[in-house]
Chains A and B, each alone.
Chain A
Amino acid sequence: MTQDSKHLEVTLETQVESVNLAEEMCLRVAEAAGFGEDDCYRIGMSVREGVINAFHYGNEERPEKKIHLALDLTPEKMVIHVLDEGKGFDLRGVPDPLAQENLLSTSGRGIFLMRAFMDEFEVIPGRTGGAEIIMSKRLPPPGSAGRNGKSQNATPNKES
């Protein structure tokens, strides 16, 4: 961690309210860091999906387990870590929600949305034995239109 980097860490209960709390917290950091409205939306949604994943699939909604959320803000990007206390999972085993046979599935779109909305996304085995989602978004250059620019758009990044 360099002098210009900031680190924030919070432990969340395995409960529905943690999803909103995590989203709000990350949105505040993202806004303060200079992300525009579109990017804030994408970051907020990705954090929601990461914490929903930890709450539901990782910790299996068991209240004695915790969700560990960490943010690293560097001059280049915002990195978000969501760690659960479950059994971990392999990304290769996650069904493609865009496959015809999965379109009417009522779940299984969270990973897809995080991948679409963030610049980098990976899942690694966490120190708790659970899964750790690591995702990041590059900061817009100072003075660019994306720097706190306002529009209403959910379209993912081209490079995602």
Chain B
Amino acid sequence: MALRATYREAAGVTVVDIGGRITLGEGSALLRKTIRELLEEQRTLILLNLADVDYIDSSGIGELVSAYTGVKNRGGNLKLLHLTKKVHDLLQLTKLFTVFEVYSDESSALRSYQ
């Protein structure tokens, strides 16, 4: 399934709702484009809602890391919300749980930016 991404504003944070597969090719490219657009609009507090992301490969992981460092370098913060079991396990396996802040409910995630 192709990746889709839309974003909305909540409590000063840009919540990006993503669905599909973040993999080599279009999926990774769309995530990169979305983050670049947000940074161009000076939106640097970003919450990626991955509730509907059922698959990520190493290229997708690389894109998530790139998004994280890109936002950090602009003085912002990028956090993750609602990981599916597969994505959760993959981030644990690659030790990226020690890098990303991960939340399972949106209100807590939004409060963490205050």
Contact = CB atoms under 8 A, between A and B. Distances in A.
Given A16-B24, A106-B63, A152-B86, A52 B58 contact: yes
Contacts of A17: 25
Interface in B59-75: 59, 61-63, 65-66, 68-69
Interface residue tally of chain B, by bracket? Answer: 20 to 34
A30 B53 CA distance: 23
Interface residues of A, number: 26
Contacts, number: 66
Contacts of A104: 65, 68-69, 99
Given A97-B94, A154-B90, A106 B62 contact: yes
B93 A156 contact: yes
Interface string A8-40: 000000001101100000000000000000000
Contacts of A19: 23-25
Interface in A103-121: 103-107, 109-110, 112-113, 116
A19 B66 CA distance: 22
A110 B84 CA distance: 21
Given A97-B94, A104-B65, A104-B69, A49 B99 contact: no
B33 interface: no
B57 A45 contact: yes
Given A45-B57, A48-B57, A107 B62 contact: yes
A133 to B, nearest CB: 14
A105 B62 CA distance: 7
